[in-house]
Structure 1
């Protein structure tokens, strides 16, 4: 798709008019969106986020299903964390041939490792709020997450030479991208999650500054309980008991209401996670990276 006109890195909502005529929302766009809502006393309610509930079974043998809340606003901007692999903090896997793929379980290029774990498919449906909420076809979506040991490829000890659990897909006419992966671990200090960035098109993915949205998918507790009761996820049992969605430093603003994936499936057959991702190109992306430099010692926290 063609790149939209910008001013100081911001997309112009009225590309045929002068910068001074772009409207109030554009003028306020340089302020942190979430902070502005708090200053106005609107809080999370202004985003129109509905509460969500889960009624899953917590046994490993039972089928697990959870419903995500709906949102009338754009997906919350979140940090990409210290291990993005998008060139903003060290390695840039997005510049490598082979990154556009649907099955992200194995490394590609000169790497050969494969991440083990309970099978998981991830489906994201991207919508374009600047175009009335229509499917956002042809955007590129980059997804990454930790393995069942809580390690991030390219960064964590033991897997710095691997690039598994990272991949890009191009949205179809319905705005949908699908990935085949494994269920991630729960590591110290964070609720189980999947990172993603949305880019205008495939050609723009090599520069992290081109991302039009950066966010994360939260995984329902009942599903996590079922997965973490299986072999290979033992360390996640205790770490999950020490965190919650409401206390998480990313999802705590609204308990993950607009980022909690809908999950179906079971341990034996694998789980299918889905989430609708509304993107508004009229607002300035607020997602960012953790401080640069070498990865911190111990478990990652983003």
Structure 2
């Protein structure tokens, strides 16, 4: 090679984050908001997600990121009357009839110029048959406007380090259950679809007590041209102003 020949540095490329099922408790409350807690009891959780194009390593700007998860007792809004201590034999979205119109612990945000969204919520609890997790869906829009055409590019789930979860589950809001929580390595979807690649990095917000809350973050690598098979655009329905 000629000594004067320069080689352009390669762009950082991220691995595609593993997709996972949307689960039976998906619904679209059509809420664009950062704080999704609606005063739900539980240990505070500040969540930061960075969305990057796995092909180029560049941030994905203007994407609509929806998250949803259960409360400290293992209950999802929309299904508040179901018993979280009993197994639910369903995986398809919308496969379980809703019991109410509550919207706690659900909402969406647009990624900023760095591809980042931030949510204020509570640390999720657990329900029968699953480890602690948060659901995420990423929609590609034609601009920073949720009324414009879009497609769902990625659907996944995020898990928590066992050490952090154990300290949370020992607090008052999460205790007194008739069943024990399922560890990550015993969760079917963690083992077969997500694993460590879907585990959040978690830090405490305060020095003195875990009850001050946690900060969780991760980077999600997606194919912006892909169309997820787990949630279709029509599953979100039409937004209205």
* TM range, smaller chain: 0.7 to 0.9
Q: Distance in 2 between matches of 1:77 and 1:213?
A: 7
Structure 1 runs not aligned, ≥5 long: 1-70, 87-92, 107-113, 293-302
For the 8 Å contact 1:228–1:237, the answer to whether it is kept is no
Q: Against the structure 1 CA distance between its residues 221 and 235, is the aligned structure 2 distance closer, same or farther, given a 3 Å change threshold?
A: farther
Could you say which residue in structure 2 is the equivalent of 1:226?
167
Q: Match of 2:214?
A: 271
**CA distance 1:206–1:251, shift in 2 (3 Å):** farther
Q: Secondary structure at the match of 2:165?
A: helix
Shift of 1:72: 4.0
* Distance change in 2, residues 1:254/1:212 (3 Å): closer
Aligned match of 2:9:
none
Matching residue within 66, 71, 84 for 1:147: 71
- 8 A contact 1:124–1:276 mirrored in 2: yes
Instruction: Tell me the equivalent position of 2:5.
Output: none
TM-score by length of 2: 0.75
Distance 1:80 1:225 in 2: 25
1:287 partner SS: coil
Which of 121, 124, 139 in structure 1 is aligned with 2:49? 124
Unmatched tracts of structure 2, length 5 or more: 1-12, 83-98, 236-241
- Corresponding residue for 1:76? 18
Query: Which structure has greater strand proportion?
Result: 2
Residues 127 and 135 of structure 1 are in contact (CA less than 8 Å); yes or no, is this contact kept in structure 2?
yes
- Of 186, 211, 229, the match for 1:247: 186
Q: CA deviation at 1:206?
A: 9.4
| CA-CA distance at 1:276 after TM superposition | 0.5
Give 1:168's aligned residue: 108
Partner of 1:12: none
Counterparts of 1:205 and 1:156, CA distance in 2: 29
C-alpha spacing 1:285/1:239, structure 2 compared with 1 (3 Å)? same
**1:135 equivalenced with 2:59 (yes/no):** yes
SS across alignment from 1:160? coil
Q: Superposed, which structure 2 residues align to 1:53-92 within 5 Å?
A: 72-86=14-28
Q: Does 1:261 align with 2:193?
A: no
Distance 2:24 2:193 in 1: 23
The number of residue pairs the alignment matches comes to: 199
**Is the aligned partner of 1:178 residue 2:118?**
yes
Q: Tell me, yes or no, if the aligned pair for 2:20 and 2:194 is still in contact at 8 Å.
A: no
